[in-house]
Structure 1
Amino acid sequence: MNVKWLDLDTAPHLPALYAHAATKRSITGDTLPETGLRCWVAVQAKPLQAFRAVCDVPDSPLLPPTYPHVLAFGLQMQLLSDPHFPFPLLGLIHLSNQIRVLRPMGGVTQLRIGVYAHNLQKHAKGATFDVVTQVDDLLGPLWEAHSTLLCKGVEMPGEVPEHAASVVSGMSELTRWYAANDIGRRYAKVSGDYNPIHLSTASAKLFGLPSAIAHGLWLKARTLAALGSHLPAANIEITADFKKPVRLPSEVILLTSAAGSSGDFQLNGHGDLVHMTGRWRPLG
C-alpha cells in the first residue's frame, strides 16, 4: 500500500478524540482512507513503570513487546475517529493482534510512530480491516504490528474469505492469575484506552454486555510477561487471536508449549472456555 503520510508535530490530545468518537455512531462508507499519521514520541520512565506494574512485567532494559501500542494509541485514536473514517470507533471488535520485534528494544528514548488502515475484507458479521503500526528509532525500523478489527453491519459484495483453524495439542499449564474487577480501569490509566466496555458493569451494559471485559492487549501483555524467558528479545513475530472475552472478575489459566525459538499459548477460563490463542515464531 502506498501510504500518504501526514506528519504531526505533537501527539494527539486524547480527551478531544474521545469527544469526537462519541458523536459518531453510524457507518458512513466502505472505503478506507489512504492517509497515515506519523509522529515522534518520547519514551518516559514513569509511564513505562506504571505499565509494567499493571501488566506484571519485570524490570528490564528492554521495552515490553506490547508497549509500543501504548505509545501509538493516540495516533490510532485520531485515525479511527477522523470524520472521514467510514466506521464508528465505539463498537469495533478487536479480533487479533500480531507484533513483530525486528531488533532488541533497549536504550530507546525517541521513536517515530506511524499508523494507517488497510486490508478491508468481507466478514460474516460485517467487515474487517487492519490497523498497521510501524515504529522506527534513529537507526530505522524497530517494531511493527497489525491489529484486525471487526465492524458489524457493513455491507460488502463478494464472498467471505475462509480462514483455516489451527489446533495445537500438547500444551501444559504454565501459570494462572486473577483478572480483578478494576483491571479495566487500571489498564486504561496506563494505556489511554477508556473504552466503556472495559471500565465497569454499568458502562459495559450500555453496549450490550452483561459486565465489563478485560482489554485484549492487557491480556496479551500479561501473557507475554508470564512467558518470560521462553520468548526471544528480537527477530520474533507474536500473534494473538481473541476468542471469548474475559468477563471481570475472572480467573484465567495460561497453557503453553515451547520448542526452541517457536511456541504456542492459550489462555483459558474454567470449563471449556477459551479466551485467547497465540503463537510466536522467528521472522522469516
Structure 2
Amino acid sequence: MTTDWHTLDREPSVTDLYVRAATRRKITGTTLPDSGLRSGIDVDPKRLAAYRKVCGFADNALLPPTYPHVLAFALQMQLLTAKEFPFPLLGLIHLSNRIRVLRPMGGVGRVRVSVQVQNLQPHAKGATFDLVTTLDDQLGPLWEAESRMLCRGVKLEGEPAEQVLAPMLPMTQVAQWKAPADIGRQYAKVSGDYNPIHLSAVSAKLFGFPTAIAHGLWNKARTLAALADHLPTANVNIAVQFMKPVRLPSEVTLMASAAGSSGDFQLQGAGDLEHMMGHWSPIT
C-alpha cells in the first residue's frame, strides 16, 4: 500500500483533538486510511526535563528512547480522530509496543515526525492495527516504532494470529518502585495523553476499570530508565507486550537478564502478576 503523505506546518492542538475524540464513539468501517501525517517538531528542553523526572531517566545528552512517542503524540491524535479513521480513539487498547533506536539520539533539536496506520488484522476480541511512527533528523532515519492497538467489537474475516513474547534467558530482580495514585496525571502533563482511564478512579470507571491504571508507555519508559546500564544506546530493538494493567497505586518489581546485546525483562506485581514482558536485541 502506498501512503498518501500530508505535511502539516505546525503541531495540532491536542485540546481540540480531545473534543473531537469525545464526540466519536462508533465504529464506522473496517478499512484503514492510506494517508499519513508529517510535521517538523522541535524538542522543548523544559518538557523533556519534566519527562525525564516523571519517568526516571538520567539528565544526559541522549534523548530517552521512549521520548519520541511524546513528540509524535499530537500527530497521532490527529490521525486517529480523522473522519477517514474508522475506529473511536477512546476505548482503543494498547497491546504491544516496539521501538528501534537506529542511531545515538544525542544533540537532537528538531526532527521530522511521520505517523501512519497499517496492518489491520482480526483478533479474538475485535481487530488490531499498527500505529507506525518514525523520526528523521538531518542525517536521515533516527528512530521508529509500532504500537499495536486493539479495537473491540470490530468483525473481520480470517483467523486471529496473536504473537506472544516469552522470556528466553534467566532473570533476576533489578529494581522495585511504587506507581503512585497520581502517576497517570503526572505522566499526562508531560506526554499530553489525558486518557480518562489513567487519571482517576472516577474517570476510569466510566470505561470499565475499577480504578485508574498506569499508562503503558510510562511503564515502558520507567522500565527502560531502570535498565539504562543494561541496554545499548543505539542499534537496538526493544519490544514489549502489555499484559495485566498496573492499578494505581501499586508496587512493581522489575526482573531482567544480564546486560548484553540481547536480553529479557519483565515487570511484575504482587503475587507474580505479569504486567509487561519485554525483550531487547540488535537491529538486524
Distance 1:139 1:165 in 2: 33
Offset of 1:272 from its aligned partner? 2.8
Tell me the residue number matched to 1:129.
Answer: 129
Offset of 1:159 from its aligned partner? 1.1
Offset of 1:266 from its aligned partner? 0.0
Q: 1:165 to 1:13 in 2, by over 3 A?
A: closer
- Structure 1 segment 1-284 matched on structure 2, within 5 A: 1-163=1-163, 166-168=166-168, 170-258=170-258, 260-284=260-284
Distance 2:196 2:271 in 1: 28
Deviates more, 1:153-162 or 1:269-278: 153-162
TM norm structure 2: 0.98
**Percent of aligned pairs with the same residue?**
64
Do the aligned partners of 2:166 and 2:277 also contact (CA within 8 Å) in 1? no
The one-letter code of the counterpart of 2:95 is: L
1:87-140: CA deviation from partner (whole Å, max 9, x where unpaired) = 000000000000000000001111000000000000000000000001000110
Offset of 1:84 from its aligned partner? 1.7
Distance 2:20 2:36 in 1: 19
Distance 2:62 2:165 in 1: 33
**Matched length:** 284
Distance 1:229 1:211 in 2: 33
Stretches of structure 1 that go unaligned for 5 or more consecutive residues are none
TM norm structure 1: 0.98
Q: What is the SS of the residue equivalent to 2:227? A: helix
The one-letter code of the counterpart of 1:199 is: L
Offset of 1:240 from its aligned partner? 0.8
Distance 2:263 2:165 in 1: 17
The one-letter code of the counterpart of 2:203 is: S
Offset of 1:259 from its aligned partner? 5.2
